Amino acid sequence: MRTKKRILVIYTGGTIGMVNTAQGYAPRKEAFHTLLDSLPELHADAMPLWDIVDMEPLLDSSNITVVEWNRIGALIAEHHAAYDGFVILHGTDTMAYTASALSFMLRNNNKPVILTGSQIPLCEIRNDARDNIVTALLIAACDDVHEVCLYFGGRLLRGNRTIKYSADDLIAFESPNYPALAEAGISIRYNRAALLPPCQGSFSIQPMQNTPIGVIKVFPGIQFELFDSIMTERLRGIVIETFGAGNIPGHANALLPIIRRASDNGTIIVVCSQCPHGTVLLGAYETSSALKDAGAVSGYDITTEAAVAKLYYLFSRGLSGDSIRSRMERNLRGEITV
């Protein structure tokens, strides 16, 4: 008889485990554990064996920072040898950021790390929590998955390709530039061609450092001079969400000298698109060539969430500015199509 897989569930907070309190929904560890114990399907023969650890304090994911990323990473590292896979129960609001961060922090990770949560708490009669937990556990026991993923609403997505797309639909996440890794219909159908192959080398973890990083979304009429000192003196990494394929308003040429000065000061500037689908092509239009000349790098089709996490990761490794720039334009964990 095949031995059962062992999965570690890491409960960080979020709607999935919240209960109704006088102040509204709030996470309650004991009540959530009681609910989990009462679900016979979680203890059925067909399920892997699982244990649960709770993070302290349980958080609404809007409050997640690099401190919590490091705690989750440390828990995975501590238990990496003892478990076959991991399920991270997390609030939906910042799940795409945490999934992206973990994908970079866990180096040479060959085990499934599946983030999930829900739009409706498990305590409610109508909820999406039950299926998300059950299916995430089954996927975490799958031999073909060797990466950090997000399971939600019937689809398994590469974690660092996801964005939270809907505030109220039960299919809340999208992966606009990469296909789903699996669809959970009558059976769980894996898209094996889309999954990452196992990596060589031994597993290690890169803790994240809290680096000053900013995201600037351009809009018609933006007064770049207002951002001058923050861009040139305060931030070490900036993700610019540009129009379309990487275009910025050229009026008064205000942005380029700022970018040039920021770049000369060692700030890494990554150009992303406001369009969820498609890629940045620096140089395709006159309005974007100048960005490249001023020292910005292309994020290609990376999500803003993954770009932020990748910047944190590369700065945390203590790399030189040139190494960070070149790695931002390289695919490290399946996060960009170059």
Q: Which stretches of the chain bind ligand ASP, using CB under 6 A?
A: 13-15, 60-62, 91-93, 117, 119
- The letter for the amino acid at 150 is L
Output the residue with the shortest Cβ distance to ligand ASP: 91
What is the layout of strands, in order, in the sheet containing 213-217? 213-217, 237-242, 268-273, 297-298
Residue 92 C-beta: closest distance to ligand ASP, Å: 3
Q: Give just the sign of the alpha carbon dihedral 15, 18, 19, 23.
A: negative
Distance (Å, rounded) from C-alpha 241 to C-alpha 212?
A: 17
CB 116 within 8 A of CB 151: yes
Residue 91 C-beta: closest distance to ligand ASP, Å: 2
Question: Of the two residues 26 and 284, which places its CB atom closer to ligand ASP in the complex?
Answer: 26
Cβ atoms < 10 Å from Cβ of 114: 30
- Upper half-sphere CA count for residue 314 (Cβ side, 13 Å): 27
Question: Of the two residues 19 and 199, which places its CB atom closer to ligand ASP in the complex?
Answer: 19
CB 321 within 8 A of CB 266: yes
- The letter for the amino acid at 115 is L
Q: Which residues does residue 115 pair with via DSSP β-bridges, in sequence order?
A: 88, 150
Residue 292 C-beta: closest distance to ligand ASP, Å: 36
- The catalytically annotated residue of 12, 15, 98, 116 is 15
State both tokens at 311. 């910047």
Residue 259 C-beta: closest distance to ligand ASP, Å: 33
Q: Give just the sign of the alpha carbon dihedral 12, 16, 17, 20.
A: positive
Which residues are CB-neighbours of 125 under 8 A, at least 6 positions away?
A: none
Residue 19 C-beta: closest distance to ligand ASP, Å: 13
Q: Is 15 a catalytic residue?
A: yes
Active site residues: 15
